[in-house]
Amino acid sequence: MQKHQIKQLIEALLFVTESPLSVAQLADYLSEHGMDASRNQIREVLQELQFDYQERGIQLHQVASGYRFQTRAELGGIIAGLWQEKPPKYSQALLETLALIAYRQPITRGDIEEVRGVSVSSQIMKTLQERGWVKVVGHREVPGRPQLYATTNEFLDYFNLQDLSELPAIPEPPQKASNTGPVAQEKTAETAPEESESAP
């Protein structure tokens, strides 16, 4: 099979699949159907397709589970009106729990509760696992052997990430001003009359 035919087939496969496809999955599929294509050839085809769709309304994007076609991010708000069903809304507690798992995994429920200062409801953990965003990856070897939670490839796919290193950095908390020396006192003295003048 010629390269352009392989390219057409891979393009079609990625269009019709519901989940991202990896290079290995594409290679296995082609092999099962008697088509000879190495993984390097498939990667070249995928790069060509990414270039072909670079300026289009849809793009070929790589996420944790493989490659998929998706709409351009900046068009999402416009085309969302085609669907009457509204996307699910998640509580602040659920999002905080998910963030702690993503940034501190593997982590126990007790660790999450210690950071948040409140108990984590069973419903939140159930929802995160039903969504496929979080899974149990083991147990901490302490009394009670609490479960350790970590994120999944589905989590990365949903948030358009290839791996955890792409998570945004957590901003440092602002430092409180500790300058209470003569300079700070002088400034206070200088501004005090102005503030008293402006007072009603």
The CA distances from residue 169 to 99, 102, 114, 175, in Å, are 12, 12, 22, 17
Asked whether the predicted pLDDT for residue 190 surpasses 70, the reply is no
Asked whether the predicted pLDDT for residue 193 surpasses 80, the reply is no
For the stretch 41-74, pLDDT in tens is 999 999 999 999 988 999 999 999 999 998 888 8
Q: What percent of the chain has pLDDT over 70?
A: 82
Query: What pLDDT shows up at residue 153?
Result: 92
Question: How many domains in the chain?
Answer: 2
- 99 and 157: one domain? yes
The alpha carbon of residue 142 and the mean position of all alpha carbons in its chain are separated, in whole angstroms, by: 31
For the stretch 126-155, pLDDT in tens is 999 999 999 999 999 888 899 999 999 999
> How many Å apart are CA 194 and CA 192, to the nearest integer?
6
- 98 and 148: one domain? yes
The confidence band for 198, taking pLDDT boundaries of 50, 70 and 90, is very low
- 62 and 111: one domain? no
Asked whether the predicted pLDDT for residue 195 surpasses 90, the reply is no
> How many Å apart are CA 147 and CA 196, to the nearest integer?
60
The confidence band for 77, taking pLDDT boundaries of 50, 70 and 90, is confident
Q: Within a domain: residue 183? A: no
Asked whether the predicted pLDDT for residue 184 surpasses 50, the reply is no
**Residue-number span of the structural domain to which 116 is assigned:** 92-166
